[in-house]
Amino acid sequence: MKKYLSIIVGIFVYINSPSQTLKTDTLNQVIIPVKSDFFYYLNRFYSNETEIYPFRDNPGPIYGLTMSGKAQLNHDTSLIRVVLKDMNDNEYLIFESNKLLNYNDTINIHSACDETSLIDSITPKSILIIIQNAELYISKIKTFKIDRNTLSRYSLYKNLMIRNIQVKKLQSVKEYIELNNMIWSASQTPVSILSYSQKKRLYGKYYNTYGFEYYKDGFFEFKMGDDGYIGDSYLTEDTTFFIRMFDWRKRHGADNPSSPYYESSNGWITPNKCQAGCWLDSVIRCDIGKSKDSASQQPCIDSGGVWRSVGTCWAFASVASVEAVANLYYNQHIDLDLSEQE
């Protein structure tokens, strides 16, 4: 009788800790026929980088691999990465963890397979374990085989599983940023969706971007120790020298009527200009019609005007910046009205 491997499409990796359980949303369930599978019971602890060779007794081609065990992160700089290598020295990420991906220090690992849920028939050679300021316990490695025809039909689900693991990692990074009141935001980027091998070529074998591969905006920085290396924590709004927002309209009380620098609520910034509106009597009128929808344009038409709207924000924004710099340089409201057309 054939054995069957049940793959939950969407989430194939479950990471639990004593005080945190990641919820999983099952998109679909697919039953993949498995010709055979093999368990490697390691039951070993690792605290330093090492390469192990558990496949000598069963070196045949495999179509997937999972790992179970436990991890302990000891520092903000902790890093664990477990990589499968084949006979051609191609590398596939099985599991990785750092403080941004797993907020709790202790992580229970069940069937981790970041890039190894479905593999196109490789002969496994070894498993590389990269560890920095952390400990890893591997209880077992499981490999399985399916025929090539079956694999081709399920290649779509392989991509789905990888993408959902990427989404889960991004969610963990966002939660870490929020919980620690950090001053940058994260998103999927062209770098974050690269494979392990691609990131390794980009950053080197021991890369740890501390989340920078997910950087979207804000101030990304670390607390530095006296030795010049990353210290005990990331900088937050309470500890950074940077501020989240800077607004020249409000500097030196320029938006406060009681301030000697006050002229209008715009502060040091010159007033907004009409970029689109009703062209009437050779003048753009912003007081006739307030938006681009046809109903608001009708009063302009009824007055004998023509509604004009062109993509000139780039010119108005650049000129407004120069006008504001003039005010700031002379420390008074010169409020130049420069020509956008020039």
Mean pLDDT by 10 residues, the chain (342 residues): 39 35 37 69 95 86 92 90 95 93 89 88 93 95 78 71 88 90 89 94 88 88 53 58 72 80 79 77 73 64 77 80 85 81 68
Within 10 angstroms of residue 95's Cβ, the number of other Cβ atoms is 27
pLDDT of residue 10: 35
- Paired strand residues for 96: 81
pLDDT of residue 21: 31
Residues constituting the chain: 342
pLDDT of residue 16: 37
pLDDT of residue 250: 78
pLDDT of residue 20: 34
Alpha carbon distance 333, 326 (integer Å): 8
107 near 70, Cβ under 8 Å? yes
Q: Give the residue from 179, 13, 7, 195 showing the smallest Cα distance to 100.
A: 179
pLDDT of residue 242: 65
Residue with tokens 């010709």: 35
Alpha carbon distance 234, 240 (integer Å): 9
| One-letter amino acid for residue 182 of the chain | M
What value, to the nearest 5°, has the Cα angle with vertex 123 and ends 122 and 128?
100
Domains of the chain: 3-155 (2.60.120), 251-330 (no CATH)
Output the pTM of the full model.
0.63
Residue 23 structure tokens: 């919820």
pLDDT of residue 310: 66
Question: E strands, the chain, where?
Answer: 3-9, 14-17, 20-21, 28-34, 36-46, 50-52, 64-73, 79-86, 91-98, 106-112, 124-132, 134-145, 184-186, 215-218, 222-224, 230-234, 276-280, 283-285, 306-309
